Structure 1
Amino acid sequence: MKKSVKLSALSITLGMTMLTHFPLYANDTDYKYSLSDGIDICFKKVKEKLGDEAKVSTIRASFASGGDIDPRSANRPQGVMTTCTVTYQNPEDPKKLLSMRMDTRSGEFKKPALVEIRVMGDASKFNVNDYLISLDKVVLTPLTAFMTSQEKNLSEHYSKFAWTGVSLSAPGTFSNVHHLRVDVEGRLAVNDIKESGYADISVDGKKVNKNRLIK
């Protein structure tokens, strides 16, 4: 894939928040899923819908940070999944991409929509296959252990914090391969200012490419 060709329309920057100790949210009736269902709940539902061998470009799951961290989330319990989206190869036309969004209150995916691909650079050299990966190659299982290993440092840096999402990002400006990203948001212990961070991880969940959870 040539560097001059970038799939700008599909690049996503995901914020993510999740409770440190994965509490249950049994009393919440407005949202179908939460972190108590696992950090990979959106990915699981995408696999159920599309199949393990479906070729996807991006997946994004967002979780509410809660009012203690972000007043704008006061009406959403911490940890509920507020976004679950996927862009994937159109099975009827391999040169096209479809986008599908979950209704996070019902847990059902809405009707897929065609993605209009925009390319920066020479569009004739663009190949959609450079931005696709089979779902069975994306493994989120190791993420839980990684996130748990970060709790001590995060607890010292923040007075309170939460994980707010997990995403699969397509190749782009900063990476020529697919990669996973987890994001954290919290209130700084030193002055109660809200701050966020992220970690960039390989698609098999085994290698941490960047750890900027704490700036």
Structure 2
Amino acid sequence: MLQSKSIRSVLLVSTLSLGLAACDQAQDLAGDLANAAGAGEMNIADGHDVCFQAAKDKLDADAKVSEISTMFSAGTDVDGDETIEAGGVEVCNIFYQDPEDPRKLVGLSYNGYTKMFSGPDPVEMSVSGDPEDFNLEDYLIPLSEVDPAPIAQFMADNDAALAEKFSSYAWTTVSFEGVGSSFQYRVGYEGRLKSNDMQDDGFAILAADGTTVVDNNLFD
């Protein structure tokens, strides 16, 4: 949830408005995807920041973003219902300021089934509080200031403990979004416990520098 500097307003961005689709919706998107920018397969093997790199490839250097979200497949060793290979990007959402109308957000969406981006499409926003006091600039940061590279060290530092607890696990979430006047990363995983073969998950919140841990729920 994003909080305004001045009025504690909450900006709710609906990913559904971007036309994200699971496999059962792929046919409905065929027309839109025909004109979409190609991407090819994206995988965490290319880096935990693969979605962020896509943003830098697709947006202007001076673009301002409000959110970049990545979801990776945990693979069938962790989740038997997975239909995308382990590490494959299921979702990559890039929300940014409309270059033609700075009052608005638009978004690019990667679909892990079609392996293509769609958009840019309008992102519908709603505000809790007085809409007249809402200022989109409070929720934006220059893309040039977003650097998720340091997160790799945090992930590496926790791999041994995760391997000790789980028979198999995978990092499944790397997201960046605003919370009030600040921005944070959310890093999450899914795993299968050695003790009883049950699925479990956890996450951590890191500050915008990618190193300062704000909230660690990896093992709670």
**TM-score normalised by length of structure 2:** 0.81
Which has the higher mean CA deviation after the structures are superposed, 178-187 or 151-160?
Answer: 151-160
Give the counterpart letter for 2:105 in structure 1.
Answer: L
Tell me the secondary structure at the aligned position of residue 94 of structure 1. Answer: coil
Give the counterpart letter for 1:177 in structure 2.
Answer: S
CA contact (8 A) 2:7 2:133 kept: no
Q: Offset at 1:84? A: 0.9
Percent identity, aligned pairs only, is 36
* Residue 5 (structure 1) aligned with residue 14 (structure 2): no
What are the ranges of 5 or more consecutive residues in structure 2 without an aligned counterpart? 16-39
Give the counterpart letter for 2:59 in structure 1.
Answer: L
CA contact (8 A) 1:86 1:100 kept: yes
Tell me the secondary structure at the aligned position of residue 188 of structure 2. Answer: strand
Q: Offset at 1:158? A: 1.7
Q: Offset at 1:104? A: 3.9
Q: Please tell me the root mean square deviation across aligned C-alpha atoms, in Å.
A: 1.8
The aligned residue for residue 41 of structure 1 is: 50
The aligned residue for residue 196 of structure 1 is: 201
Residue deviations 1:47-83, cap 9 Å, x none?
110033210001111110011111110x321101111
CA contact (8 A) 1:9 1:119 kept: no
Q: How does 1:179-190 map to 2 (within 5 A)?
A: 179-190=184-195
The aligned residue for residue 212 of structure 1 is: 217
* Residue 63 (structure 1) aligned with residue 72 (structure 2): yes
Distance 2:123 2:114 in 1: 24
CA contact (8 A) 1:182 1:199 kept: yes
Q: Offset at 1:116? A: 1.7
* Matched positions, count: 192
Distance 2:135 2:49 in 1: 29
The aligned residue for residue 171 of structure 1 is: 179
Tell me the secondary structure at the aligned position of residue 104 of structure 2. Answer: strand
Give the counterpart letter for 1:6 in structure 2.
Answer: V
Distance 1:116 1:76 in 2: 29
Distance 2:102 2:167 in 1: 48
**Residues 33 and 132 from structure 1, CA distance in 2 versus in 1: closer, same or farther, beyond 3 angstroms?**
same
Q: Offset at 1:111? A: 2.3
Q: Offset at 1:157? A: 2.1
Give the counterpart letter for 1:8 in structure 2.
Answer: L
CA contact (8 A) 1:137 1:204 kept: no
Distance 2:214 2:53 in 1: 24
Distance 2:119 2:149 in 1: 29
Give the counterpart letter for 1:152 in structure 2.
Answer: A
Distance 1:42 1:79 in 2: 13
Of Structure 1 and Structure 2, which has the larger fraction of its residues in strand?
2
4+ long deviations beyond 3 Å: 103-108
Q: Offset at 1:204? A: 2.2
Determine which of 103, 108, 115 is the counterpart of 2:123.
115
Distance 2:195 2:7 in 1: 42
Distance 2:119 2:203 in 1: 31
